[in-house]
Amino acid sequence: MAQIALSRRLRRTPFSDGVEAAGVKGYTVYNRMLLPTVFESAEVDYRHLKEHVQVWDVSCERQVELRGPDAARLMQMLTPRDLRGMLPGQCYYVPIVDETGGMLNDPVAVKLSEDRWWISIADSDLLLWVKGIANGYRLDVLVDEPDVSPLGVQGPKSDELMARVFGDRVRDIRFFKFDKFEFEGRELAIARSGYSKQGGFEIYVEGSDIGMPLWNALFAAGEDLQVRAGCPNLIERIEGGLLSYGNDMTDDNTPHECGLGKFCNTHTAIGCIGRDALLRVAKEGPVQQIRPIAIDGEPVPPCDRPWPIVAGGKRVGQVTSTTWSPDFSTNVAIGMVKLSHWEPGTRVEVETPDGLRGATVRDKFWI
């Protein structure tokens, strides 16, 4: 396997010193920034995440900040999700689409106030799309990338660890809500959210200078909780059906194909740039959609490109994320499957690098 060649272009984060000291073994690049992928091994990291608590450097979830009188209008132009009922203190998962309804990103929108929003992005330079739209429509809004780096705290002991550092009030934060907490005299937004199904928080660390002090405070407070450095875990995210933009979907796909139709309020999301195209999609329904898939047999090799799904000699979809699940003793997978073969229980075959494997389209993800 090849090494990653480091350079300034693959940006370090406020927590990189801590990540390195913790012995990171693998990196990916996400929004032109380093994202750890493994510390001990995918399986050891996974087991620990499900039992204890981990601190995740997810700085690569960069923020696009909208600020000004047209901020809310611009935010609604970007997404088919109806934002009218959204209050400050709430986080919404929002598909972002272009004029054809193709997905440009699947971020979390954070409403700080009526005229100030953060968009906590997946892996594409959404900043450039938002700046282009703001400029082209002559909106009265500033758009930029602030010095804000999310730090994840994930796992069943997250509440306990966070309460020790930020006080018991942190336990009251509800899912996809955020509140402000003090750390070293700085006010930080903390949300109950994160890219795992094990529960936890994301701290929006504003100001790189407090990155390592906060990292160290969490590790000092959590020694007896067996806190460790962690990262989004491939096994756990596939078991839980957490999609990855760029892996499981691209700008070729509509939200409906990604199973995100419930976030498309095309009749009421007035102003959304992709609304016309998505109205049409909503009427006709998608012809392919994301499905959980169990692949038979021994553990599959790493999936670094789409693997065709075939049935009766024809291509009926593709697998885009897969790995062996120790807890479910099967290869868990995420794939895009055509309408003709997407019913739960349908048997198909997957072209893996090791040859054809039998596979079953499932009703639900594993957790």
The residue among 130 and 242 lying less far from a second copy, judged by its C-beta, is: 130
The residue among 261 and 335 lying less far from a second copy, judged by its C-beta, is: 335
Contact in structure between 126 and 96 (CB atoms under 8 Å): yes
Q: C-beta of 137: minimal distance to a second copy in Å?
A: 5
Contact residues for 295 (Cβ-Cβ < 8 A; gap 6+): 319, 322, 330, 331, 333, 350, 352, 357, 358, 359
Q: C-beta of 321: minimal distance to a second copy in Å?
A: 8
Q: C-beta of 233: minimal distance to a second copy in Å?
A: 12
The residue among 99 and 182 lying less far from a second copy, judged by its C-beta, is: 99
Contact in structure between 290 and 257 (CB atoms under 8 Å): yes
Q: C-beta of 129: minimal distance to a second copy in Å?
A: 4
Q: C-beta of 165: minimal distance to a second copy in Å?
A: 28
The residue among 125 and 179 lying less far from a second copy, judged by its C-beta, is: 125
Ramachandran angles phi, psi of 16, nearest 5°: -60, -35
Alpha-carbon gap, residue 187 to 180, rounded angstroms: 6
Where do contacts with a second copy occur on this chain (CB under 8 A)? 1-10, 12, 24-30, 32, 37-38, 98-99, 104, 123-126, 128-137, 244-247, 273, 302-306, 320-321
The residue among 189 and 290 lying less far from a second copy, judged by its C-beta, is: 290
Q: Hey, what's the torsion of the CAs at 163, 55, 16, 187, to 10 degrees? A: -30
Q: C-beta of 176: minimal distance to a second copy in Å?
A: 24
Contact residues for 198 (Cβ-Cβ < 8 A; gap 6+): 49, 50, 154, 155, 156, 158, 236
Residue located via tokens 């000092």: 220
Q: C-beta of 5: minimal distance to a second copy in Å?
A: 4
The residue among 66 and 170 lying less far from a second copy, judged by its C-beta, is: 66
Q: C-beta of 135: minimal distance to a second copy in Å?
A: 6
Question: What Cα–Cα distance (Å) separates residue 361 from each residue in 317, 329, 333?
Answer: 11, 16, 10
Q: C-beta of 338: minimal distance to a second copy in Å?
A: 19
What angle (nearest 5°) sits at the alpha carbon of residue 296, between those of residues 293 and 299? 100
The residue among 91 and 104 lying less far from a second copy, judged by its C-beta, is: 104
Alpha-carbon gap, residue 270 to 296, rounded angstroms: 45
Q: Nearest CA to 161 among 195, 203, 189?
A: 203
Contact in structure between 117 and 110 (CB atoms under 8 Å): yes
User: What residue type is assigned to position 254 of the chain?
Assistant: T
The residue among 201 and 307 lying less far from a second copy, judged by its C-beta, is: 307
CB-CB neighbours of 334 under 10 Å: 23
The residue among 199 and 306 lying less far from a second copy, judged by its C-beta, is: 306
Write out the H or E segment, with its range, that includes residue 19.
helix 16-21
